[in-house]
Chains A and B, each alone.
Chain A
Amino acid sequence: MFDLEGFGHLLFQGTLMTIRLALVSLVFGLMFGLIGAAMKLSRFRFLRIIAGVYTALIRGIPELMVILFIYYGGVILLNNFAGLLGYDRYIDVSAFGAGVAALSLTFGAYATEIFRGGIRAVPTNQIEAARAIGMSPATTFRRILLPQVWRFALPGLGNTFLIILKETALVSVIGLEELMRKTDMAVGYTKEPFTFFLFAALIYLAMTAVVMWVQQGLEKRANRGVSGRAVT
């Protein structure tokens, strides 16, 4: 059905770069999400305001704009900042670095709300009970809070990761050689845009299907021991 005219390996390299970008962004995004949720639930008003501004900004500005800002503006900000610290060599921002920064900040903003909802869904008397039988705050977090928050947050996190996976395509705009960029290169040689963009679309569909399958497995595992029906 598809005659890739020897450009298959190019698209394969691009796919690997797309996967790497998505996974690295996921790791940093989860960190931003946990920090954001902790700030939003903090006692300190200042922290709550900062987290609120962060999520409002990310949700109101197009991702493409965030990517462009970080790639072109980030270089200037970073070098000015380094200059203030007395470092006068030019620092370059890679397309991959800018892409990870933009995508993980986006993921983090959505994950902040998801984690916040998950943490609030755990009844407070469970925390009190854990403390009452002598668990330290750290142990309470690890044994009582985290497993349940993970269970509540998984569906939302999976959906957000699917969004991020598709947004990796936008990083091609600043020149990262991921799947879209490589496809573009193949189109330049073969002059067969429909064939190649459709093939790229099918690769994205396949990646989406794999993520959905992994998500289902993780949800099943997180929900083990939990009855499907409400216990009343």
Chain B
Amino acid sequence: MNFDVMIEALPDLIGGLWLTLGLVALALLAGFVIALPTALARLSRLALLRWIAWSYVFFFRGTPLLVQIFLIYYGLSQFEVIRESVLWPILREPFWCTLIALALNTGAYTGEVFRGGILSVPHNQIEAARAIGMSPATAFRRIIWPQTIRQALPAYGNEMILMVKASSLASTVTLMDITGVARTLAADTYMPIEIYTMAAMIYLVLTFVMSQLVQLLEWKMDTTRARA
């Protein structure tokens, strides 16, 4: 092991860390926004909504993320309509394409997590809320959602950590995230063991901090704590 190489690589790898963090944060945010309507549509009375949401979830959970990224980054350029549309400046950028793929991917997984959380709320609570005159929206906001998020938090925390790992695929479309920087450095220095070990350590710290944050959040939301 050449420790000098490892230390020297650190500033470059930290440079890649910002792109990784940016991708993960934006993807999680967008994924969250996609997941809630997806979960509600999966539980809808309307068969069409259920079918659309089911197809979306089935496709994005049943295919590799790499295919999804390539489909958006390389695939969309096949259509002249898209190449000539106003969206093309966005859709030809690897950053936005990766972000869209990551967001749609985590949106599908998170949608299922939320659906499970919603289903865990006892039905008589909802009936009671309606009986005392709450509108469906108020009942959702005050009764269903707080319990859903508490129930779903452990699984959602897992999904957040999986997103950190998934963001490494950004390097396959030339982005310089931690993995992208590491691959370039490893090729330049011929010292893959040192470089990849260092990069792996950064990921370990990142996933560890993330899991601690989720645990803290779980602890804060735990309503049974005060009673004990």
Q: Which residues of A contact B (CB under 8 A)?
A: 56-57, 59-65, 68-69, 72-73, 76-77, 166-170, 172-173, 180, 184, 187, 191-195, 197-198, 200-201, 204-205, 208-209
Asked whether B79 is an interface residue with its Cβ less than 8 Å from the other chain, the reply is: yes
Which of B44-52, B145-153, B203-211 touches A?
Answer: B203-211
For the complex, would chain A's binding face be called helix, strand, loop or mixed by DSSP majority? Answer: helix
Q: How far is the CB of A82 from chain B (nearest CB, A)?
A: 16
Asked whether B29 is an interface residue with its Cβ less than 8 Å from the other chain, the reply is: no
Contacting residues of chain B (12-70) with chain A, CB-CB under 8 angstroms: 58-59, 62-68, 70
* A64-B168, A65-B168 known; A57 vs B204 contact (CB < 8 Å): yes
Contacts of B63 in A (CB 8 A): 166, 201, 204-205, 208
Q: Are the CB atoms of B66 and A169 closer together than 8 Å?
A: yes
Asked whether B143 is an interface residue with its Cβ less than 8 Å from the other chain, the reply is: no
Q: Are the CB atoms of B207 and A59 closer together than 8 Å?
A: yes
* A60-B203, A192-B78 known; A197 vs B192 contact (CB < 8 Å): no
Q: Are the CB atoms of A69 and B78 closer together than 8 Å?
A: no
Contacts of A204 in B (CB 8 A): 62-64, 67
Which of B88-96, B123-131, B178-186, B216-224 touches A?
Answer: B178-186
A104 to B71, CA, bound (A): 27
A56 to B70, CA, bound (A): 30
Q: Are the CB atoms of B67 and A197 closer together than 8 Å?
A: yes
Cβ-defined partner of A193 (8 Å) among B70, B168, B197, B199:
B70
* A69-B200, A180-B67, A192-B78 known; A76 vs B171 contact (CB < 8 Å): no
A170 to B171, CA, bound (A): 11
Cβ-defined partner of A194 (8 Å) among B58, B76, B161, B197:
B76
User: Count of B residues near A, CB < 8 Å?
Assistant: 40
Q: Are the CB atoms of A69 and B204 closer together than 8 Å?
A: no
What are the 10 closest A-B residue pairs judged by CB atoms, nearest first? A194-B75, A62-B168, A72-B192, A169-B64, A193-B74, A62-B165, A208-B62, A194-B78, A73-B193, A166-B64
A170 to B164, CA, bound (A): 16
Cβ-defined partner of B67 (8 Å) among A68, A169, A195:
A169
* A193-B74, A193-B78, A198-B75 known; A60 vs B208 contact (CB < 8 Å): yes
Contacting residues of chain B (158-216) with chain A, CB-CB under 8 angstroms: 161, 164-169, 171-172, 179, 182-183, 186, 192-193, 196-197, 199-200, 203-204, 207-208
Please list 29 pairs of residues, one from A and one from B, whose beta carbons are closer than 8 Å in the complex, sorted by A's number.
Answer: A57-B200, A60-B203, A60-B207, A62-B203, A64-B172, A65-B168, A65-B196, A68-B182, A68-B183, A68-B192, A69-B196, A69-B200, A72-B196, A73-B193, A73-B196, A170-B64, A170-B169, A172-B66, A180-B70, A191-B78, A193-B74, A194-B75, A197-B74, A197-B75, A201-B71, A204-B64, A205-B58, A208-B62, A208-B63
Cβ-defined partner of B192 (8 Å) among A63, A69, A170, A184:
A69
A170 to B199, CA, bound (A): 18
Nearest chain A residue, comparing its CB with the CB of B193:
A73
A184 to B172, CA, bound (A): 13
Nearest chain A residue, comparing its CB with the CB of B186:
A72
Q: Are the CB atoms of B74 and A187 closer together than 8 Å?
A: yes
* A65-B200, A170-B66 known; A205 vs B165 contact (CB < 8 Å): no
Q: Are the CB atoms of B59 and A193 closer together than 8 Å?
A: no
* A76-B192, A200-B67 known; A60 vs B204 contact (CB < 8 Å): yes
Contacts of A193 in B (CB 8 A): 70-71, 74-75, 77-78
* A61-B200, A65-B203 known; A195 vs B172 contact (CB < 8 Å): no
Contacts of B166 in A (CB 8 A): 62
Contacts of A68 in B (CB 8 A): 179, 182-183, 186, 192, 196
A200 to B59, CA, bound (A): 12
A155 to B49, CA, bound (A): 28
